[in-house]
Amino acid sequence: MSKEKQRLVLYYIMLILVIFSLLLGFHLIRKNKQKVSIEPVMADKKVSDTLEIKESQTVDQDLPLDSDIALELLEKVSVFNNYKAGSYYGYFYNQDYMDISMISDDAKVIIGITQNENFANDFLNATYDAVAPDGTPLDVIILSKEEIQEGINSFFGPNTSYTDTDLIDGSDYCGFSKFKFDNTRNVYMSDPITCSGFPKPYVDSKLMRVHQSGDKIELYVKIAYVKYETTNSEEVVQYIYKNKADLQYLEKHMLLSDNSYDINNILDKLDTFKFTFTLNSNNYYYFTKVEKI
């Protein structure tokens, strides 16, 4: 082979090697870019998912006392703090422990009544004109069975079972504990709520702590019973008790000369009740239990 042909062959071999090297280099660069752009994203997603699962499983924190959820749940369990609750006055504090399995049908009914949207204004929007059997015109509060069921469900959770029944106080009380069930029309009925006289006993309460743990929220509440007595001289005496059955009061105030009662001054003498609520799949918290601690 002539030298000229040898040089030409060598030239082509070198050209082929250069082209091959360039192609190999481009391939390696492209592969590295793909690895850099994909792997960190996948790693981030894996870490993010792990953190999210871990956070969901290990939520353990105190919530602000004035947070929306704290105020909403406190309002739900304060409905029996008013003397208009009649025989159900102070209901959640009558025992050291109570869960839904211990709550009677009539108590479920009255709890359902308290969750009605008209409850806050004494059912003014649920009061209708009616006529008594003797022809006397009267006003009557009417709540449907469906409304009661909705109220019960909103407190205890969906599909809570109960049996319709009259409430304890019948027609002999001025509060919301005298509803009767009319099984011919499937409605609950009551006379209008017109409690007269002042002052009325009430349960004073102080929210001390709100704790969230996993799917649970716990309210820690201090409570005091405030009672009144009118003397022969028409002076009103205010008595503060630890619980409803106590005979020995914690404090006594003559309202005309001493209006200094403040629950914050006696917190160390009061019982604490813990209300537990559980998060449902519909993202709503429902009552689970209450216990004295």
Q: pLDDT category, 195, cuts 50, 70, 90? A: confident
Residue 15 has pLDDT above 90, yes or no: no
Q: Averaging pLDDT over each range in 157-161, 189-193, 230-234, which range is the top one?
A: 157-161
Three-state DSSP class for residue 190:
strand
CA dist list (Å): 201 to 10, 50, 90, 173, 174? 111, 53, 11, 15, 14
Interior/surface letters 33-68, b for 16+ CB within 10 angstroms, e for the rest: eeeeeeeeeeeeeeeeeeeeeeeeeeeeeebeeeee
pLDDT average, residue stretch 234-244? 90
Res 110: pLDDT:
94
Distance of CA 33 to the CA centre of its chain: 52
Lowest mean pLDDT across 23-27, 182-186, 244-248: 23-27
Separation of alpha carbons 234 and 118, rounded Å: 35
Angle at 92 between CA 90 and CA 94, to 5 degrees: 70
pTM for this prediction: 0.74
pLDDT of residue 23: 57
Residue labelled with tokens 């108590």: 107
Residue 67 pLDDT level (bands cut at 50, 70, 90) = very high
The answer, yes or no, to whether residue 11 has pLDDT greater than 90, is no
Which of 25-34, 83-92, 109-118 is predicted least confidently? 25-34
At 152, list the tokens. 């019960």
> Is the bond preceding residue 158 a cis peptide, omega within 30 degrees?
no
pLDDT at 163 (0 to 100): 94
**Mean pLDDT over the full length of the chain:** 82
CA pair distance 179, 157, nearest whole angstrom: 23
- Residue 17 in this model has a pLDDT that exceeds 80: no
What proportion of the chain, given as a percentage, has pLDDT over 90? 51
Looking at residue 52, its pLDDT comes to 43
- pLDDT over 60 (residue 251): yes
Q: Torsion-angle region of residue 81: left (phi > 0), alpha (psi -120 to 50) or beta?
A: alpha
Candidate from 103-112, 153-162, 208-217, 250-259 with smallest mean pLDDT: 250-259
Alpha helices in the chain (DSSP H): 3-57, 68-77, 105-114, 145-156
Task: Kindly tell me if the per-residue pLDDT of 246 is higher than 90.
Answer: no
pLDDT tens-digit map of 163-175:
999 998 866 677 8
